[in-house]
Amino acid sequence: MKPELMTAAGSIAQMERYVAAGADAVLIGEPRYGARLPGAIPEDQLKEAVSRAHELGAKAYVAVNKLLRNHELSGLPGYLRAVREAGADAIVFGDPAVLLNVKEAAPGLPLHWNAEMTGTNSAAASYWARKGATRAVLARELNEEEIASFKASVQMEVQVQVHGMTNIYHSQRNLLQSYMEHLGREARLLDLGPAEGLFLVESERPDERLPVYEDENGTHVMSADDICLLEAIPELLSAGVDSLYVEPLLKSDAYNETALQGYRKAVDAWSADPSAYEFDEGALEAIRALQDPRRELSFGFLYKEQVY
Amino acid sequence: MSSANIETAGRARRPLRRHRLDKPELLAPAGSLEKLKFAVHYGADAVYIGGQKYGLRSNADNFSFEEMREGVAFAAQYGAKVFVATNIYAHQEDLEGIADYLKQLEAAGIAAIIAADPAIVEIAMREAPGLEVHLSTQQSTMNWQAVRFWKEEGLPRVVLARETSLEEIREMKSNVDIELEVFIHGAMCSSVSGRCVLSNHFTDRDSNRGGCCQSCRWMYDLHLDASPTADAGDNPFTMGSKDLCMIQHIPDLIDAGVDSFKIEGRMKSIHYVASVVNAYRQAIDAYMADPEGYHLRPEWVSEIGKAANRPLNTGFFYSTPGAGEHIYEPEEKPAPYDFAAVVTDYDTASGIATIQQRSPFRPGMEVEFIGPGGRSFHQTLGELENDLGQKVDVARHPLQTIRLRTEKPVFPLDIMRKKML
């Protein structure tokens, strides 16, 4: 099986652009059940969105990856039925409450397990596989050796983020509103949802800008750097990684298209003939040309050894 | 003090054995064997500790298996239990060895582990069936169906996410027959527990394996459209939360059906653990003995105030925390009182106490003695003698033995504290 190139889309139009740029699969949804999406495709447009993806030859996954509260449970069976009726190829979940609801309301709907930064080992992934998950989304804080060992130890697909920013802190508090209130400012200065131009700078790291935003799910702090694993594609694919995810959050459509095109070419070339594969510096240059100069393109944790 | 002394002291003042879940359990942190003894002696029904591996306080003075056995034996004299936090999210390299480790915990008499990673949950249930598995708050369980999922997996207890409100706890309790454990006091992650890798990004320290360096409490500038939102003189942005304190709301928690009241703080001092446990023990006992006649006693609140070093709040129990629940001012004031000495012996005939120094004190100093159950009295220190019977102008040596006259009887493991200047 050729590895999948995946991204997320906040509208049907965006989905079309990203598929045209090379995405094989697109994650969609709305903040009612999904976390940190680039935009909302509401329940009544799900069918149209999934059909459009399928027409274009792409898969559509729906994000049901929030940590849920009691009051959010009652709408879940209806939403899951709508997702299945729309023909979605899988849902992405983190909260075990979703498993119970899928079993009752939408049995057979494929499940991708995504526990964000806590998806760190193969034994936990296998545990969720026995509950029905067919794919594990790996924590971004794993290194290459850990990714390879993880994949070698599970009987399920694994998905790794290869590009873009990562979520590094999630609170259910409204930290920005609270701070504005503390300063005596109007909280209306802040828009809900991912917003350009809003960032944190830690006092001893003046060169690092951490994007931050607030939405109905709380406060989200994002990484100061963008992962870029284009040069590591052969290693990841040799390790058997099944899906490569490009995070489109807080980037322009043009930027995301360029990134997707670069990974598309790399995946195609390696899959056609690994031994003849050569890294295409031009693809990386094209990304660099659109990269915000204040955000480093980095290998993330791929070559890091963490301590504790 | 040698641990043998503490053990003897424990036997001498053995309280009635408590039956689990007759009333809610008071669960206290114990960062060391000595802290365990104080926590249990001051009224904890159970303590949680860290072992050498798989816990989230890699900097704490964690227990060896030998110390665990000693702690379990000490706690058993009071009818108290010992839990071990194995609450990391494991990486591949951590998986090997978990089963052996859990079997050793079981053999040491540990009653339960507190685990978040399903890998550890599963290995424990298979390999060490004598251990109860309690689902850690790091799994961020905040709805009743997730609670039901873990119940169906065979877990007897879930430690809820700190985002859960009292109303939500009541709903969980009415929908699922399972023990619910809730943090009622101490420091809190402002993130959803486990959903923070600030430390990993800033310092390459893995927060979910015990490397958290509390980056949420660092200072940040918040920029909006490339301009700072704060003016000169404004406090910077932080993510730091005030500490949780529910001493004024014990009836609400008991009525909501909370089975275990958990105090945070394996890194906190003996004085902190003893004071906080002492206050909550009295509040819980008073309410259970007479719910109708219960009233909050101001001593409990002031007792906690003497050990606390951060401003306090009620977290998510009543509403989502706002501006008033976060710390923007420069923080980390020391607690207003400090641990000066522990009582090791008291001679009723002469009224002379033997104490062991924990921080310097001198004649003329105002001190307070405290003991379990809220016993306390203030006095001005008179003459001090060392173990050779010589007068001492300042008790300056750590762990030094001192004899002095106390104005009222004292008991082993009573604490002498002094007001910080």
* Chain B residues with CB-CB distance to A204 below 8 A: 218
Task: List, for residues A82-112, the tens digit of each pLDDT value.
Answer: 999 999 999 999 999 999 999 999 999 999 9
**Cβ <8 Å between B236 and A203:** yes
State the angle between helix axes of A96-105 and A76-85 in degrees (0 to 180), rounded to the nearest 10: 60
What distances in angstroms separate CA A237 from CA A152, A159, A240, one per listed residue?
12, 11, 5
**Cβ <8 Å between B192 and A221:** no
Helices (H), A156-239: 175-183, 233-238
Mutate to test the interface with B, among A36, A66, A67, A116 (most CBs of B within 10 A): A67
Q: What is the pLDDT of residue B7?
A: 42
Q: Which residue of A has its CA nearest to B190?
A: A171
Residue B302, chain A, CB below 8 Å: the answer is no
Q: How far is A223 from chain B (nearest CA, A)?
A: 8
**Cβ <8 Å between B93 and A146:** yes
Q: Alpha-carbon Rg of chain B, whole angstroms?
A: 22
Q: How many Å separate Cα A69 from the centre of its chain? A: 22
**Cβ <8 Å between B224 and A174:** no
**Cβ <8 Å between B206 and A308:** yes
CA–CA gap between residue B50 and residue A245 (Å, rounded): 37
Task: List, for residues B235-251, the tens digit of each pLDDT value.
Answer: 999 999 999 999 999 99
Q: Which residue of B has its CA nearest to A300?
A: B201
Task: List, for residues A108-142, the tens digit of each pLDDT value.
Answer: 999 999 999 999 999 999 999 999 999 999 999 99
CA–CA gap between residue B165 and residue A264 (Å, rounded): 46
**Cβ <8 Å between B140 and A209:** no
Asked if residues A222 and A168 have their Cβ atoms less than 8 Å apart, the reply is: yes
Residue B259, chain A, CB below 8 Å: the answer is no
Which backbone phi and psi does A57 adopt, to 5 degrees?
A: 85, 15
Which among A122, A178, A197 has CB closest to B323? A178
Q: Which residue of A has its CA nearest to B225?
A: A197
Residue B126, chain A, CB below 8 Å: the answer is no
pLDDT in tens, chain A (308 residues): 799 999 999 999 999 999 999 999 999 999 999 999 999 999 999 999 999 999 999 999 999 999 999 999 999 999 999 999 999 999 999 999 999 999 999 999 999 999 999 999 999 999 999 999 999 999 999 999 999 999 999 999 999 999 999 999 999 999 999 999 999 987 666 777 888 889 999 999 999 999 999 999 999 999 999 999 999 999 999 999 999 999 999 999 999 999 999 999 999 999 999 999 999 999 999 999 999 999 999 999 999 999 88
| B421 contacts: CB under 8 Å, gap ≥ 6 | none
**Cβ <8 Å between B161 and A100:** no
Q: What is the pLDDT of residue B421?
A: 67
* Chain A residues with CB-CB distance to B57 below 8 A: none
**Cβ <8 Å between A123 and B123:** yes
Residue B213, chain A, CB below 8 Å: the answer is no
Q: How far is B244 from chain A (nearest CA, A)?
A: 15
**Cβ <8 Å between A175 and B92:** no
**Cβ <8 Å between A121 and B220:** no
Give the burial class of A262: count Cβ atoms within 10 A of its Cβ; 0-12 exposed, 13-18 middle, 19 or more buried: buried
> Is the ipTM of this structure higher than 0.90?
yes
Q: Give the DSSP letter string of B112-136.
A: EEEE-SHHHHHHHHHH-TTSEEEE-
Q: Which residue of A has its CA nearest to B53?
A: A308
Which among A150, A204, A307 has CB closest to B205? A307
**Cβ <8 Å between B221 and A142:** no
| B197 contacts: CB under 8 Å, gap ≥ 6 | A117, A140, A141, A168, A169, B206, B207, B208
Q: What is the pLDDT of residue B18?
A: 33
Is A289 strand, coil or helix?
helix
CA–CA gap between residue B318 and residue B325 (Å, rounded): 12
What distances in angstroms separate CA A40 from CA A8, A28, B248, one per listed residue?
11, 7, 42
The two tokens of residue B165 are 């409100």
Is B411 strand, coil or helix?
coil
Q: What is the pLDDT of residue A36?
A: 96
* Chain A residues with CB-CB distance to B89 below 8 A: 117-118, 120-121, 124, 139
Residues in chain A: 308
Q: Which residue of A has its CA nearest to B93?
A: A146
**Cβ <8 Å between A197 and B202:** no
Residue B168, chain A, CB below 8 Å: the answer is yes
* Chain B residues with CB-CB distance to A177 below 8 A: 322-323
Q: Which residue of A has its CA nearest to B198?
A: A168
Residue B211, chain A, CB below 8 Å: the answer is yes
Pick the CATH number of A4-165+225-298 from 3.20.20.380, 3.40.1650.10, 3.40.390.30, 1.20.1440.230: 3.20.20.380
Mutate to test the interface with B, among A104, A126, A175, A219 (most CBs of B within 10 A): A175
Which among A172, A176, A203 has CB closest to B219? A203
**Cβ <8 Å between B145 and A100:** yes
Give the amino acid at A111: L
**Interface A-B: count of C-beta contacts within 8 A:** 216
Q: How far is A183 from chain B (nearest CA, A)?
A: 7
* Chain A residues with CB-CB distance to B190 below 8 A: 171, 173, 175
Asked if residues B313 and B386 have their Cβ atoms less than 8 Å apart, the reply is: no
Asked if residues B39 and B20 have their Cβ atoms less than 8 Å apart, the reply is: no
Low-confidence ranges of chain B (pLDDT < 70): 1-22, 59-60, 331-332, 421
CA–CA gap between residue A56 and residue A279 (Å, rounded): 28
Of the candidates A83, A9, A24, the one whose C-alpha atom is nearest the C-alpha of residue A54 is: A24
**Cβ <8 Å between B143 and A73:** yes
**Cβ <8 Å between A100 and B229:** no
* Chain A residues with CB-CB distance to B140 below 8 A: 67
**Cβ <8 Å between A304 and B204:** yes
- The CATH 3.20.20.380 domain(s) of chain A lie at 4-165+225-298
Which among A174, A197, A203 has CB closest to B226? A197
| A293 contacts: CB under 8 Å, gap ≥ 6 | none
**Angle A190-A196-A201 from CA coordinates, rounded to 5°:** 85
